[in-house]
Chain A
């Protein structure tokens, strides 16, 4: 019923839609679960009749599964932000996780592509959800115990990666999002004329996930990532940590035997788990290059940026062609070869 240009279910779409009844969804879920096809149910729907009607139907599925069938699998409900607040309240009682999709990172894009959506009311719903999740946790009650998540579509509009990430940083900070999902816009059957028709920007999506990880687990600030991008766009040839390091060479090389954990996390090719292992190991021993090699699969990227007892990158770090040398050759040349 709603009009969102990027969606196959928008009301102007000519694609034939299917509708499941509550009982059909319940039966399929139970029988699929019994056979271990699925771990749980992720339920999402286009708007049928009205946001409240749709939300109620989704709720009913979750409620019947839990109450009438003792279903113990995972339930994730994609809530409809325009639904009445009491329906979101009730959804939290039956679901493990609730999510509201922001879909587009800026108010401008929402206006253009999803004119019936309202960024403020979406954020309002997120804020309500955040408050209720926190409260229920304190009161030890069940309300969406696995938290809330959201999704943004990438590549349907002209928003830069830096702006996408700024929006994510805000969502993580304000509403304690468990995850922000990035979804490369892919062509849909019977597409709207105002959208780009091309293959989905999968590499861009993957770079955004990497940058998102840097924000959450590697102590990066969103502006640091923005500064190391090219006009707000992440480098598609190298990962965002490497891109940042290449622009901040004066901070390297880092001595793996002595550097702070925070600085080790900034070494390209070293993941958070590898860093934790390095820090634990160096309390008992001094690390040589071959030791580091056993802890990470990213040694090639790490080498120009680190120092061990038996290794120093010397001039390598200053080479003009360092970026080119570190570009990973695409592993998959053709999908259909």
Chain B
């Protein structure tokens, strides 16, 4: 049998190789009958008339390996890959699993080299700003293998919003923020010869260099010398390596010195005394942090006398609270105020706050429908709530509903099971439902019943706060 010559483009000619494999497989031509050759611009596949043949079905892992290895610069790559495809399609479908097979091993090594080359390209391309008004960047890079096309996705993904060009001896590519175009091969001189940020970058590179850890061997493995001439920072390397041992010796020989400045006692004291001292300071911190879930108009802080006896903790501000910037002013808040009045609790004498300080909602038409905070959101706000309690130092902390309970205890427990007296860390506590629960009940009878139970809770809360706790002790501040 005579030899068939297949000529492919000298590059990552995946399309050509794919067509060749289809045709060769259709003709059932074994690898030993094929002569693969390369040309800069092949007109056809060689002597044979390559008509379109049906696709062959290769396992995904094989197809991926081929995509990678066609980029390799080894002139034998197509011959080796065809051997692989031939064996996989002729009874050795799991061939890739046998990594110890000499052919598989060799192709694996090729794939590794291509991957390494890609990694080095991702790491060592250095853009320089092109002259002109518009912000455009260009870089010169010399890869070992035909990886220009294969690298494109990475650079588009990383620099999507920039206009950049990468120039190489094997071709060029430009991304103009919208589309990618490939161009002819280029020369180093086609790229800008400087960039105003390189000096700063070199300075940074030099100052993070630790002379005591210098290891030129490892350094060259990481950053092979052949890349050095295109990297702005490498100009510093020889000097850094040369002076490294002197610098280390100097540090070692230098005797420990006494501090020349005296110890800044007062500044040190102030340093460890950084916690907010007042509710205003705390609220300023909360306001500055902004909402965890975007959308809220403003943070809704706690409201009431600085050292109120009772702190009521609700869930999170609602629509009205968000607009007015005050807690418990919406429908549930109104009902709550009414209930307090009935019992004789003066709203202006208690401290009202929420576990979460920002409104979270779903927009439905013009309405903003309240959406319950997740456990993670509650815990995000928890340190602030704890600080708030620490600053108010109440006699009694009331959890209104499950969210408040979660915020106060860090655990989620059903209200029905824990309603009544409780202890929240150092604070005496009480657990009851959230007033909005009373609004949600379906029929009047249950509603009335639940409201009565709520009033009963408020009565007990009122009594608990009036009478000093049994122990007679004031609650200790939380840590």
- State which residues 174-222 of A face B: CB under 8 Å: 184, 186-193, 197-200, 202
The 0/1 profile, CB within 8 Å of A marked 1, for residues 154-170 of chain B is 00001101100000000
Given contacts A184-B213, A332-B215, contact A11 B264 (CB under 8 A): yes
Given contacts A136-B376, A285-B100, contact A32 B197 (CB under 8 A): yes
Q: Does B358 lie at the interface of the complex (its beta carbon under 8 Å from any beta carbon of A)?
A: no
Given contacts A49-B271, A53-B274, A84-B383, contact A34 B376 (CB under 8 A): no
Inside 8 A of B285's CB, which chain A residues have their CB?
86
Q: Pick out which of these stretches binds chain B: A106-114, A157-165, A287-295.
A: A287-295
Partner among A51, A72, A202, A335 whose Cβ is within 8 Å of the Cβ of B271: A51
- State which residues 203-253 of B face A: CB under 8 Å: 204, 210, 212-217, 233, 241-242, 244-245, 248, 251-252
Inside 8 A of A72's CB, which chain B residues have their CB?
158
Q: Pick out which of these stretches binds chain A: B71-79, B125-133, B142-150, B468-476.
A: B125-133
Report whether A332 and B213 are in contact in the complex, using a CB–CB cutoff of 8 Å: no
Given contacts A84-B383, A184-B213, contact A12 B374 (CB under 8 A): no
Report whether A12 and B259 are in contact in the complex, using a CB–CB cutoff of 8 Å: yes
Q: Does A14 lie at the interface of the complex (its beta carbon under 8 Å from any beta carbon of B)?
A: yes
Partner among B128, B217, B263 whose Cβ is within 8 Å of the Cβ of A35: B128
Closest CB of chain B to A65's CB: distance in Å?
14
Inside 8 A of A47's CB, which chain B residues have their CB?
271
Inside 8 A of B195's CB, which chain A residues have their CB?
35
Partner among B105, B162, B374, B375 whose Cβ is within 8 Å of the Cβ of A294: B105
Report whether A295 and B99 are in contact in the complex, using a CB–CB cutoff of 8 Å: yes
> How far, in angstroms, from A1 to B99 measured CA to CA in the complex?
56
Q: Pick out which of these stretches binds chain B: A242-250, A275-283, A298-306.
A: A275-283
Inside 8 A of A189's CB, which chain B residues have their CB?
251, 254
Closest CB of chain A to B93's CB: distance in Å?
10
The 0/1 profile, CB within 8 Å of B marked 1, for residues 49-87 of chain A is 111110000000000000000101000000000101110
Q: Does B193 lie at the interface of the complex (its beta carbon under 8 Å from any beta carbon of A)?
A: no
Report whether B380 and A89 are in contact in the complex, using a CB–CB cutoff of 8 Å: yes
Q: Does B275 lie at the interface of the complex (its beta carbon under 8 Å from any beta carbon of A)?
A: yes
Chain B residue with Cβ nearest A294: B105
Q: Does A13 lie at the interface of the complex (its beta carbon under 8 Å from any beta carbon of B)?
A: yes
Q: Does B86 lie at the interface of the complex (its beta carbon under 8 Å from any beta carbon of A)?
A: no
Q: Chain A interface mostly helix, strand, loop or mixed?
A: loop
Inside 8 A of B241's CB, which chain A residues have their CB?
335-336
Inside 8 A of B270's CB, which chain A residues have their CB?
49-50
Report whether B275 and A84 are in contact in the complex, using a CB–CB cutoff of 8 Å: yes
Q: Does B139 lie at the interface of the complex (its beta carbon under 8 Å from any beta carbon of A)?
A: yes
How many B residues touch A, CB cutoff 8 Å? 65
Q: Does B379 lie at the interface of the complex (its beta carbon under 8 Å from any beta carbon of A)?
A: yes
Q: Does B445 lie at the interface of the complex (its beta carbon under 8 Å from any beta carbon of A)?
A: no
Report whether A132 and B379 are in contact in the complex, using a CB–CB cutoff of 8 Å: yes
Closest CB of chain A to B149's CB: distance in Å?
19
Report whether B201 and A186 are in contact in the complex, using a CB–CB cutoff of 8 Å: no
Given contacts A13-B259, A200-B213, A287-B100, contact A190 B137 (CB under 8 A): no
Chain A residue with Cβ nearest B292: A93
Report whether B137 and A51 are in contact in the complex, using a CB–CB cutoff of 8 Å: no
Q: Does A315 lie at the interface of the complex (its beta carbon under 8 Å from any beta carbon of B)?
A: no
Q: Does B449 lie at the interface of the complex (its beta carbon under 8 Å from any beta carbon of A)?
A: no
Given contacts A139-B375, A187-B248, contact A36 B98 (CB under 8 A): no
Q: Does A143 lie at the interface of the complex (its beta carbon under 8 Å from any beta carbon of B)?
A: yes
Q: Does B384 lie at the interface of the complex (its beta carbon under 8 Å from any beta carbon of A)?
A: yes
> How far, in angstroms, from A143 to B129 measured CA to CA in the complex?
35
Chain B residue with Cβ nearest A1: B271
Partner among A28, A51, A132, A198 whose Cβ is within 8 Å of the Cβ of B376: A132
The 0/1 profile, CB within 8 Å of A marked 1, for residues 285-306 of chain B is 1000100100000000000000
Chain B residue with Cβ nearest A82: B272
Q: Does B268 lie at the interface of the complex (its beta carbon under 8 Å from any beta carbon of A)?
A: yes
> How far, in angstroms, from A38 to B129 measured CA to CA in the complex?
16
Report whether A86 and B384 are in contact in the complex, using a CB–CB cutoff of 8 Å: yes
Inside 8 A of A237's CB, which chain B residues have their CB?
none
Q: Does B102 lie at the interface of the complex (its beta carbon under 8 Å from any beta carbon of A)?
A: yes
Report whether A294 and B376 are in contact in the complex, using a CB–CB cutoff of 8 Å: no
Closest CB of chain A to B107's CB: distance in Å?
12
- State which residues 54-75 of B face A: CB under 8 Å: none
Q: Does B452 lie at the interface of the complex (its beta carbon under 8 Å from any beta carbon of A)?
A: no
Report whether A336 and B128 are in contact in the complex, using a CB–CB cutoff of 8 Å: no
> How far, in angstroms, from A122 to B99 measured CA to CA in the complex?
46
Partner among A34, A136, A199, A285 whose Cβ is within 8 Å of the Cβ of B159: A34
Closest CB of chain A to B30's CB: distance in Å?
22
> How far, in angstroms, from A294 to B383 measured CA to CA in the complex?
57
Report whether B210 and A186 are in contact in the complex, using a CB–CB cutoff of 8 Å: yes
Closest CB of chain B to A38's CB: distance in Å?
9
Closest CB of chain B to A115's CB: distance in Å?
12
Inside 8 A of B200's CB, which chain A residues have their CB?
28
Chain A residue with Cβ nearest B200: A28
Inside 8 A of B248's CB, which chain A residues have their CB?
187, 199
- State which residues 170-220 of B face A: CB under 8 Å: 195, 197, 200-201, 204, 210, 212-217
The 0/1 profile, CB within 8 Å of B marked 1, for residues 1-45 of chain A is 110000000011110000000000000100110111100000000
Report whether B126 and A35 are in contact in the complex, using a CB–CB cutoff of 8 Å: yes
Known pairs A11-B263, A11-B268, A86-B289; list 8 more (Cβ under 8 Å): A34-B162, A36-B125, A82-B272, A135-B376, A186-B213, A281-B97, A291-B100, A335-B216
A-B contact pairs, 11 of them (CB 8 A): A14-B259, A28-B200, A35-B126, A35-B195, A51-B271, A53-B274, A84-B383, A141-B376, A189-B254, A283-B97, A284-B98
Residues of A participating in the B interface, judged by any CB pair closer than 8 Å: 1-2, 11-14, 28, 31-32, 34-37, 47, 49-53, 70, 72, 82, 84-86, 89-90, 93, 131-132, 135-136, 138-139, 141, 143, 184, 186-193, 197-200, 202, 277-278, 280-281, 283-285, 287, 291-292, 294-295, 331-332, 335-336
